[in-house]
Structure 1
Amino acid sequence: MTHRQILEVLAGLIAALFTALLSTTIVTTALPTIIGDLKGTQTQYAWVITTALLANAASTPIWGKLADLFNKKVLVQTAIVLFVVGTGIAGFAHNVPVLLAGRVVEGIGMGGVTALVVAIIGSIIPPRDRGRYAGYTGAAMAVSMSGGPLLGGVIVDSPLGWRWCFFVCLPLAVIALILLQRTLRIPTERKDGVSIDWWGATLLAAGVSVLLIWVSFAGKPGYYDFISKESALYVGVGVALLIAMVIVETKVKSPIIPLHIVTEKTTGLAIIASVAVGVGLFGATTFLGQYFQTARGHSPTIAGFLTIPMVAGMLIASIGSGRLIARFGRWKPFIVAGAALLVIGFGLLSTIDHATSLQLVGVYIAVVGVGVGCLMQNLVLAVQNTVSVKNIGAASSSVAFFRTFGGAIGVSVLGSILASRVTTLSAEGFAGLGIDTGAAGGGNLDLNALPAPIATIIRTAYGDATGRLFLVACLVAVITLVCVILIPNAPLRTTIDIQKPGEVGDQEPAELDEQKPAEVGERSEAVTEAVKV
Structure 2
Amino acid sequence: MPTETLDRRRTLVVISGLMLVMLLASLDQTIVSTALPTIVKELGGLEHLSWVVTAYLLAVTAVTPLYGKLGDLFGRKIVLQGALLLFLAGSALCGLAQGMTELIAFRFIQGLGGGGLMVSAQAAVGDVVPPADRGRYTGLFGAVFGVSSIAGPVLGGFLTTHVSWRSIFYVNLPLGVLALIVLAVTLPSMTERRSHKIDYAGTVLLAAGLSAIILMTTLGGNTYDWASVQIVGMGVVGVACLIALTFVERRAAEPILPPALFRNRVFVVTSAVGFVVGFGLFGALTYLPLFQQTVRGLSPTASGLQLLPVMGGLLVSSIVSGQVIARTGRYRPFPIAGTAIAALGLWLLSSLDETTGSGVAAFHMLILGLGLGLVMQVLVLVVQNSVPYDMLGVATSGSTLFRSIGGSLGTAILGAIFSGRLAAETAAGDPQVTAFVDSLHVVFLVATAVMGVAFLLSWLIPQQPLRKSVDPTVVGDTLGGPVDTDSLRELTRCLSRAAGRERTLAFMRGVVERAGLDLSPSASWALVRLGAPEAPSVADLAALPHVRTDKLALAMGELRDGGLVAGDRVTPAGVEMRVRLVDARTEALRELIDDWEPDRFPELDPLLRRLAVELSPVPA
**TM tier relative to shorter chain:** 0.7 to 0.9
2:244 is equivalent to residue 156 of structure 1: no
> Would the aligned equivalents of 1:494 and 1:513 in 2 still touch at CA under 8 Å?
no
Looking at structure 2, the residues matched to 371 and 133 of structure 1 have their Cα atoms a distance apart, in angstroms, of 28
Matches within 5 A, 1:322-341: 322-326=322-326, 328-341=328-341
Query: Aligned to 1:486, what secondary structure does the other structure show?
Result: coil
The residue that corresponds to 1:305 in the other structure is 305
Looking at structure 1, the residues matched to 275 and 324 of structure 2 have their Cα atoms a distance apart, in angstroms, of 25
Looking at structure 2, the residues matched to 350 and 109 of structure 1 have their Cα atoms a distance apart, in angstroms, of 35
Looking at structure 2, the residues matched to 395 and 236 of structure 1 have their Cα atoms a distance apart, in angstroms, of 29
Matches within 5 A, 1:158-197: 158=162, 160-173=163-176, 190-192=193-195, 194-197=196-199
1:275-296 Cα distance to aligned partner (Å, 9 max, x none): 1112111123201111111122
Quick one: structure 1 residues 495 and 309, their matched pair in 2 at CA, closer, same or farther if it must change by over 3 Å? closer
The residue that corresponds to 2:555 in the other structure is none
Looking at structure 1, the residues matched to 388 and 88 of structure 2 have their Cα atoms a distance apart, in angstroms, of 32
2:32 is equivalent to residue 31 of structure 1: no
> Which structure 2 residue ranges, 5 or more long, are not aligned?
1-7, 471-485, 492-589, 599-603
2:594 corresponds, among 487, 511, 528, to 511
1:386-427 Cα distance to aligned partner (Å, 9 max, x none): 456765543333222222222221122111111121222223
> How far apart are 1:113 and its partner, in Å?
3.8
1:46 corresponds, among 37, 44, 50, to 50
Q: Percent identity?
A: 38
Matches within 5 A, 1:77-476: 78-115=82-119, 137-158=141-162, 160-173=163-176, 190-192=193-195, 194-220=196-222, 223-326=223-326, 328-387=328-387, 391-430=391-430, 457-476=431-450
1:477-497 Cα distance to aligned partner (Å, 9 max, x none): 122223333223333433489
Give the counterpart letter for 2:439 in structure 1.
A
Structure of greater Rg: 2
Quick one: structure 1 residues 377 and 61, their matched pair in 2 at CA, closer, same or farther if it must change by over 3 Å? farther
The residue that corresponds to 1:441 in the other structure is none
Query: Aligned to 1:339, what secondary structure does the other structure show?
Result: helix
8-17 or 93-102: bigger deviation: 8-17
> Would the aligned equivalents of 1:309 and 1:369 in 2 still touch at CA under 8 Å?
yes
Looking at structure 1, the residues matched to 593 and 33 of structure 2 have their Cα atoms a distance apart, in angstroms, of 47
Quick one: structure 1 residues 153 and 28, their matched pair in 2 at CA, closer, same or farther if it must change by over 3 Å? same
The residue that corresponds to 1:438 in the other structure is none
Query: Aligned to 1:429, what secondary structure does the other structure show?
Result: coil
The residue that corresponds to 1:57 in the other structure is 61
> Would the aligned equivalents of 2:30 and 2:285 in 1 still touch at CA under 8 Å?
no
Give the counterpart letter for 1:340 in structure 2.
A
> How far apart are 1:268 and its partner, in Å?
1.6
> How far apart are 1:104 and its partner, in Å?
1.0
Quick one: structure 1 residues 208 and 188, their matched pair in 2 at CA, closer, same or farther if it must change by over 3 Å? farther
The residue that corresponds to 2:553 in the other structure is none
Quick one: structure 1 residues 374 and 342, their matched pair in 2 at CA, closer, same or farther if it must change by over 3 Å? same
1:51-71 Cα distance to aligned partner (Å, 9 max, x none): 111111221232355567675
1:3-52 Cα distance to aligned partner (Å, 9 max, x none): x99x96976665443322211211111111122222x2112312111111
> Would the aligned equivalents of 1:266 and 1:382 in 2 still touch at CA under 8 Å?
yes
Looking at structure 2, the residues matched to 135 and 523 of structure 1 have their Cα atoms a distance apart, in angstroms, of 20
Quick one: structure 1 residues 86 and 230, their matched pair in 2 at CA, closer, same or farther if it must change by over 3 Å? closer
Looking at structure 2, the residues matched to 202 and 498 of structure 1 have their Cα atoms a distance apart, in angstroms, of 24
TM-score (norm 1): 0.79
Quick one: structure 1 residues 145 and 518, their matched pair in 2 at CA, closer, same or farther if it must change by over 3 Å? closer
Looking at structure 2, the residues matched to 385 and 273 of structure 1 have their Cα atoms a distance apart, in angstroms, of 16
Looking at structure 1, the residues matched to 322 and 429 of structure 2 have their Cα atoms a distance apart, in angstroms, of 49
Give the counterpart letter for 2:234 in structure 1.
Y
Quick one: structure 1 residues 313 and 136, their matched pair in 2 at CA, closer, same or farther if it must change by over 3 Å? farther
Looking at structure 2, the residues matched to 324 and 16 of structure 1 have their Cα atoms a distance apart, in angstroms, of 33
> Would the aligned equivalents of 2:83 and 2:113 in 1 still touch at CA under 8 Å?
yes
Relative contact order higher in (CA < 8 Å, ≥ 6 apart): 1
Give the counterpart letter for 1:44 in structure 2.
H
> Would the aligned equivalents of 2:468 and 2:594 in 1 still touch at CA under 8 Å?
no
Looking at structure 2, the residues matched to 393 and 250 of structure 1 have their Cα atoms a distance apart, in angstroms, of 18
Quick one: structure 1 residues 523 and 100, their matched pair in 2 at CA, closer, same or farther if it must change by over 3 Å? same
TM-score (norm 2): 0.69
2:27 is equivalent to residue 22 of structure 1: yes
> How far apart are 1:239 and its partner, in Å?
0.3
2:459 is equivalent to residue 485 of structure 1: yes
Query: Aligned to 2:147, what secondary structure does the other structure show?
Result: helix
1:134-171 Cα distance to aligned partner (Å, 9 max, x none): 8755543333223311111111111x211111122344
The residue that corresponds to 1:494 in the other structure is 468
Q: CA RMSD in A?
A: 3.9
87-96 or 166-175: bigger deviation: 166-175
